[in-house]
Amino acid sequence: MLDALDWMEGELEGRGGRTFFADGEVGMLDYCVYPWFDSLAAVERMGIIEVPWEERFPKLVLHNILIFFKKKSCPVLKMPTSEEKWSGGRMSPARK
């Protein structure tokens, strides 16, 4: 598993300082990879594996922090609040 993380870290390093896999912008690959890090963190908390994140994978740490904040601001990826509802694939204010 650490070999796969090494590969991903190397891919981010080889992108000329870009933070995301898709040419500096958040792309489909970034959003597809992100949930796996949450799962890996859960496995890590159970004591099954220990990942030296900050020492060995600093670019992946930054990538996941930035994806987290991008996800929070992306209307496609956030759940509607009680004041909003889904309408045609988009969120819109709920009618009263």
Angle, in degrees to the nearest 10, between helices 58-73 and 2-13:
80
For the segment 64-91, what is each residue's pLDDT rounded down to a tens digit? Answer: 888 877 766 555 555 555 555 545 444 4
Do 42 and 51 meet the contact criterion of CB atoms below 8 Å apart?
no
> Among the ranges 18-22, 34-38, 45-49, 86-90, which has the highest mean pLDDT value?
45-49
- How far apart CA 91 and CA 89 sit, in angstroms, is 7
Tell me the whole-structure pTM to 2 decimals. 0.66
Q: What is the mean pLDDT of residues 55-61?
A: 90
Domains with residue ranges and CATH for the chain: 2-93 (1.20.1050.10)
17: exposed, middle or buried (C-beta count within 10 Å: 0-12, 13-18, 19+)?
Answer: exposed
- How far apart CA 34 and CA 74 sit, in angstroms, is 14
